[in-house]
Structure 1
């Protein structure tokens, strides 16, 4: 019977944390960022567990049929989770509408926590009653049941994140968890029997309840804050969170198991002091996390398994000892509560009530107000203040260390400064840390969580082209929407076009603030109207139609970004377009593999079946591909007028604009093939894209040339007037030859050497297409550089250019 009870609790734990991973993904679609969804779902989970344990637990413990209660709770969990499987899309749309396009932070977080709590409450409340019900059955002690339940949760986290969701999707993964709950109810009813009702001791103290509430708060606060810090060191993917959560739960389970076996752990003051000290040790591991990671990566082979192992080891360094002691402390305080005449259900309910408060108090308020360092030191100080041994010398060691760290230790912030560089800006926000770093050459770069570059003052040309190409292809845009701000250069260039009103949407207010540092790269001029909002929510809830919508090249592996590449999002964008409106989704080919590109393309084609693809520039190291579609049909006309500023971005003629196309709809369908489209329910990109982030298997230039080898463009199908089609097709062939030459050519600072390497091949490219200006410009620059050293060679080069097109030879 004991083994069966432990098995049931393990299966129930598997289902519970499986649901948490699924629900976190689903709420991330509403809240725009996985970290926001994590905080909301964690708070909702613990709030429901607390209510279930407090409201139902005492009745279960006094009941002569606790078995029925246990089975009924498992059935309720399964049934309500089944209801959520079917109703989550509608519930998500309702939450989006409730938040609205212009929500204040207070309203946004209120709806996030409130809606999550109410939607999950029936299931989470029933979850909160299962452990008291199983404990009341008397088949095993509380500590073994808690350990089995938590170890099952570990299996649920890892299986759901690494297998179920990637292969099955969210709905089917939740369906498996539903089946587990219903199976637990059936098996318990067939095989278990209740033990006699235990008699509780007389109440002598309420101190254990206060201790349970406070330690629940501090334990989850440590988890939330440590995960926040590690997201600046790890890759911040869906796998990162799963590994961190799995290690945290494993430590708690092992602590509970150790408590059941080792009497030495049964000392509340010692456990509290040990926790304070272990938090400080965990912080030391966090400060050294970057160095630990780099050392391990230098030692291990560059594979996906190695990269994930490194993230797991970082989690162990931060979580192993604190969580081991947390698991033991919970069991000890539960035993103290029993001795004081307090039922286990009440002890569990109060502990999870404290845990519920950790996400909003520490995750939302204190992390951004104080910074992670001081917030974590508050956790250590909290454990010390709960320890009734402050007069002992051993108490003062962690207390003194806490005070010293508060005064003298650097912040728990990670910013990679290049040699000779400086930090221009750093902000710890609720969802991420945002920094701007300037190198020795004066180039400023914006980073999110020290990992993700969101723009640079050195990329004005390419960033500006990402704004101008969609606007020029539309030809008559009056209002444009930009999803994602980054450095603000792309939307800033658009705002300088005469007659175009520009709205820009950015989830992180810290990014909007940091983008002000990049305005000098554009000079004086109009600026976009900035909106702090999630892109998905804004598109669905705003009422304004747009002539052009441009979506930034979001890193597909980062938290929440994959949701901006789904069928549902692309369809919502199409609904936001005015008649003949143009949508362009930029994709960073240097950050995704071709299989991920195929899935995004398949999703895009479901919303824009006649879509096309273009290149933002001819960069080999950071190639950026655009998927472009038009409401009413993808047909484009050469512009009647072109703003003067377009020439500054290499878009001075029709060939530079229309020649940017690399694939028509037929080629895109062939590229996508039978790859599954990325959807809200099958978030293929979020789980596939991290593989190239952890262990790149090819260079960006190789992926670009491989892509160009798979696609073709029949420009006649894209143009309203096909007169230019033959010349544009030649332009596309010349670009392919030009990029292949760039991939094979080693650069040199000596112009004579470069002329020997690229002179003849570039002239051949120009003969393919005299309109291909990118091949002419480097030859003209080489002629200018050689004019003093070797005027004969310079003149011969200009003469060769003149034979192809006379105007190219002008200095």
Structure 2
């Protein structure tokens, strides 16, 4: 009964180990940043600590065996190890703020500052990672009954621990951090480790003799033998880490670079390693051919996989279209994606799971001392993994692409298999083995490069079958059939492609990062230009600006072209994007060579937090928050850092999107923003893009005279003309939630924090459904009153009294598909008879009927042209309500009393009485303005 119980505890220990790795990685991203250098460093520190632990506890198990001939000290020591991990986890949340404070206080910027932080990060995770290295060597020595049983026991321990890691990967990636946050996850796992430690201490009372392996049993060539097998273990560790990194990157290009894609890719590797280890434990007898056969199969299967990986986006597309774009299908889809990855790469990874137990078996036969040898073997293998992470997964990608490093990993596997063949199969002539190795390396070198058109297609955004969906992988070349790939680069952080469309005056280029468009010189010009110019208009001055994300360079360019601007600092995390900057010089006035613009390669949070300057304008347009790591730039902590680096009357402008989003995600972003900035306004660029303005001091935010004067300055006027905004009225059409409305709404719910990163999960689900989010309804009570008072367009109309202003504004709102289109057109119609002719094509037949209803809903001085019917249907009441909620504009607000009148007439039959009564009570609540109305009680779509 001892061994099954110990193996069950080992499963739980593996679960907590992966949960720690994921959670600590997110903690250390706060300290070091989310850029590739930081990611490689964190992985290197964790693997380094693990390797040290394998070696230390392997040596310790050897000494314990020599002192005592029973399991008692081994199990007790392991219980103390598990308890130590738990204590460290419970104290981590208290230690980390102290370390972060020390990081800020330490001198040094750039490489020096990063080096200081690496030392601090090492102090945080190397000690517990070292303790985690005790599992394999101690338990292998403690549980083996005899030398013949040692391989089976070792494989069972390794497999059980890895199976727990598989469960921990899925649970942490999909649930634990979302539910508990980082601190809650550590507390839960720490408690589990304390329980495991207590169980092992209790088990230590049931002692028995351990396997006694005297030094004399060792082969006289033991040192040389270990050097050879250690070399094989190192090569396998290196290769598998490189291959795993590459497959994860390909997974991001195929399914989208979200937390969920990363989780299922890691889970596939971990579970297959467990299966391979269990398979070894099932064999009663293991021949000498097993190790070289497993390694050659590992190399052959990954070589075969090479030819299919470039088409992975196509096969992922087939998986995606098999599931509906509804929230209910979210988990089934990722279950299907997991099975697809398992089918594709599982067989190859299973052989990697068998490699280490088979290496242990070979060493066990030739060299004694189980725990010590297991510790040394796994230590060397982990060093290989560390080198794979730092060299293959990071350093080489500055010069090579993913297919190059993949082939280097294949060469390492071929070399490992050859070395194992030389040692395990002495009848095979060395010349034959050498010839096989040389032939393998030549074949690997001659493998064709992967095609950028396949990998950068980005078809993961297609949620429904297209006309090419079932035409095979070659259909990917038709996805961007009218585009030319002018640049392609796999850098350590991202896969970056530049696509060119058209020629001459119609030429445009798009920046595609990890298969997703992150900017287009034409279609995104208005958003990227407005992102920089709008906060500059409201700021006291725009002498110094900080831009988050280079993209196509248009934001930085338009800011740099302002006469008062002296410097623009741009933080860009991707070396590939920086390298591609000259390709966009034709569209951004050569921003890559602009002396005002300073490009900084690094994580924006870290770059901004460690910059000593104050900025008049901070413009943030990172990628979508469902992309791994980007959610940090929407967090309360980052916003607080940005606010702290604004000048007293500076403005922070944050981009967000309504496409592939949800009401929940938008409210979470707004709630977090308002928790940092007391003065917030929301502007909408078009149907897709929203800009949040945060003011430290709102002195200039409502000053129309100053705003108009700055617009007429030649530099500002030139920029505004370029995105067809010639006058103040047209600009004010984009104001959606005036200053103070978001704060007055006091949106209920949590905020997005680095320590409880909700947004990545919420945004990930919204990306899956491809839904379109809406700004929260604020046409009630205090938000409506503040919106009415602070609406710049309403103030402008009141001051100028010119209705053509309203018509120009309505025209812009409808052309750009802004939320206020319907209400503004209704206001134009009420003010000017016959003014609807320009809007006829936009409205259509149904739009004309809706317009009549919105005219009635407006707060107009004249009474409605025609009375309502005595009774109206429930569906009609809901239609009126939907128009009120979806088209509400603070510039021309609807009258809640008019909606109440509609609900007072609701009910053509008794069947709808209850729903009508519920809707009436909600309308009365709207009139009172004491709380936001409940869409569900009105029966409106959520």
The question of 1:308 aligning with 2:310 is answered: no
Indicate if the aligned counterparts of 2:678 and 2:696 stay in contact, CA closer than 8 A. no
SS state at 2:512 partner: strand
Query: What residue is the counterpart of 1:83 in the other structure?
Result: 91
Query: What residue is the counterpart of 1:202 in the other structure?
Result: 218
Query: What residue is the counterpart of 1:679 in the other structure?
Result: 753
**1:109-508 alignment runs, 5 A limit:** 115-138=120-143, 141-192=153-204, 193-200=206-213, 201-203=217-219, 204=222, 205-206=225-226, 207-262=228-283, 263=285, 267-302=290-325, 303-341=329-367, 343-388=373-418, 389=421, 400=439, 403-411=442-450, 413=452, 414-416=455-457, 418-440=480-502, 442-501=507-566, 502-508=568-574
TM-score by length of 2: 0.74
Write the distance in 2 (CA, Å) between the matches of 1:225 and 1:115.
29
Indicate if the aligned counterparts of 1:275 and 1:322 stay in contact, CA closer than 8 A. yes
Residue 397 to residue 727, structure 1, CA distance change in 2 (3 Å): farther
The CA deviation string for residues 415-446 of structure 1, in whole angstroms up to 9 with x for no partner, is: 23611321111122111111110124532100
Q: Report which stretch shifted further, 592-601 or 204-213.
A: 204-213
Write the distance in 1 (CA, Å) between the matches of 2:101 and 2:345.
37
**How much has 1:386 moved relative to structure 2?**
2.3
SS state at 2:254 partner: coil
**How much has 1:281 moved relative to structure 2?**
2.5
Write the distance in 2 (CA, Å) between the matches of 1:293 and 1:720.
48
**How much has 1:255 moved relative to structure 2?**
0.3
Write the distance in 2 (CA, Å) between the matches of 1:409 and 1:465.
44
Indicate if the aligned counterparts of 2:679 and 2:697 stay in contact, CA closer than 8 A. no
Write the distance in 1 (CA, Å) between the matches of 2:169 and 2:488.
33
Indicate if the aligned counterparts of 1:483 and 1:505 stay in contact, CA closer than 8 A. yes
Query: What residue is the counterpart of 1:517 in the other structure?
Result: 583
**How much has 1:449 moved relative to structure 2?**
1.1
Indicate if the aligned counterparts of 1:151 and 1:250 stay in contact, CA closer than 8 A. yes
Indicate if the aligned counterparts of 1:10 and 1:151 stay in contact, CA closer than 8 A. yes
Residue 657 to residue 597, structure 1, CA distance change in 2 (3 Å): same
The CA deviation string for residues 15-63 of structure 1, in whole angstroms up to 9 with x for no partner, is: 1100011012222234443765543333222211111121232222331
Write the distance in 1 (CA, Å) between the matches of 2:606 and 2:128.
26
Q: Report which stretch shifted further, 248-257 or 26-35.
A: 26-35
Gaps (5+ residues) in structure 2? 146-152, 423-427, 458-478, 843-942
Indicate if the aligned counterparts of 1:483 and 1:506 stay in contact, CA closer than 8 A. yes
Write the distance in 2 (CA, Å) between the matches of 1:681 and 1:733.
47
Query: What residue is the counterpart of 2:679 in the other structure?
Result: 610
SS state at 1:384 partner: helix
Indicate if the aligned counterparts of 2:537 and 2:710 stay in contact, CA closer than 8 A. no
Indicate if the aligned counterparts of 1:634 and 1:718 stay in contact, CA closer than 8 A. no
**How much has 1:483 moved relative to structure 2?**
1.4
SS state at 1:486 partner: coil
Write the distance in 2 (CA, Å) between the matches of 1:86 and 1:138.
37
SS state at 1:198 partner: coil
Query: What residue is the counterpart of 1:788 in the other structure?
Result: none
**How much has 1:553 moved relative to structure 2?**
4.9
Residue 112 to residue 768, structure 1, CA distance change in 2 (3 Å): farther
Query: What residue is the counterpart of 1:807 in the other structure?
Result: none
Indicate if the aligned counterparts of 1:147 and 1:256 stay in contact, CA closer than 8 A. yes
Write the distance in 1 (CA, Å) between the matches of 2:613 and 2:78.
51
Query: What residue is the counterpart of 1:755 in the other structure?
Result: none
Write the distance in 2 (CA, Å) between the matches of 1:286 and 1:129.
36
Query: What residue is the counterpart of 2:19 in the other structure?
Result: 18
Query: What residue is the counterpart of 1:790 in the other structure?
Result: none
The CA deviation string for residues 575-603 of structure 1, in whole angstroms up to 9 with x for no partner, is: 10111111111112224212111111111
SS state at 1:233 partner: helix
Write the distance in 2 (CA, Å) between the matches of 1:44 and 1:727.
63
Write the distance in 2 (CA, Å) between the matches of 1:280 and 1:322.
10
2:76 to 61, 68, 72: 68
Which structure would you say has the larger RCO, counting Cα contacts within 8 Å and 6 or more residues apart?
1
SS state at 2:654 partner: strand
**How much has 1:764 moved relative to structure 2?**
5.4
**How much has 1:309 moved relative to structure 2?**
3.2
**How much has 1:522 moved relative to structure 2?**
3.7
Residue 718 to residue 534, structure 1, CA distance change in 2 (3 Å): farther
**How much has 1:282 moved relative to structure 2?**
2.8
**1:555-570 alignment runs, 5 A limit:** 555-570=624-639
Indicate if the aligned counterparts of 1:74 and 1:184 stay in contact, CA closer than 8 A. yes
The question of 1:41 aligning with 2:42 is answered: yes
Indicate if the aligned counterparts of 2:158 and 2:274 stay in contact, CA closer than 8 A. yes
Residue 470 to residue 119, structure 1, CA distance change in 2 (3 Å): same
Query: What residue is the counterpart of 2:28 in the other structure?
Result: 27
Residue 713 to residue 515, structure 1, CA distance change in 2 (3 Å): farther
Q: How many residues align?
A: 756
The CA deviation string for residues 78-120 of structure 1, in whole angstroms up to 9 with x for no partner, is: 122223222223434545776965449xx85x66765544421
Residue 253 to residue 96, structure 1, CA distance change in 2 (3 Å): farther
Residue 592 to residue 35, structure 1, CA distance change in 2 (3 Å): farther
Residue 88 to residue 505, structure 1, CA distance change in 2 (3 Å): same
Write the distance in 2 (CA, Å) between the matches of 1:132 and 1:182.
20
Indicate if the aligned counterparts of 2:258 and 2:764 stay in contact, CA closer than 8 A. yes
Q: Which of structures 1 and 2 has the bigger CA Rg?
A: 2
What's the Cα RMSD here? Answer: 3.6
**How much has 1:779 moved relative to structure 2?**
9.3
The CA deviation string for residues 647-676 of structure 1, in whole angstroms up to 9 with x for no partner, is: 333444333444532114553246562221
Indicate if the aligned counterparts of 2:734 and 2:818 stay in contact, CA closer than 8 A. no
Indicate if the aligned counterparts of 1:659 and 1:728 stay in contact, CA closer than 8 A. no
Write the distance in 2 (CA, Å) between the matches of 1:713 and 1:512.
46
**How much has 1:762 moved relative to structure 2?**
8.9
Gaps (5+ residues) in structure 1? 746-757, 782-811
Write the distance in 2 (CA, Å) between the matches of 1:134 and 1:282.
35
Query: What residue is the counterpart of 1:801 in the other structure?
Result: none
Write the distance in 1 (CA, Å) between the matches of 2:107 and 2:28.
13
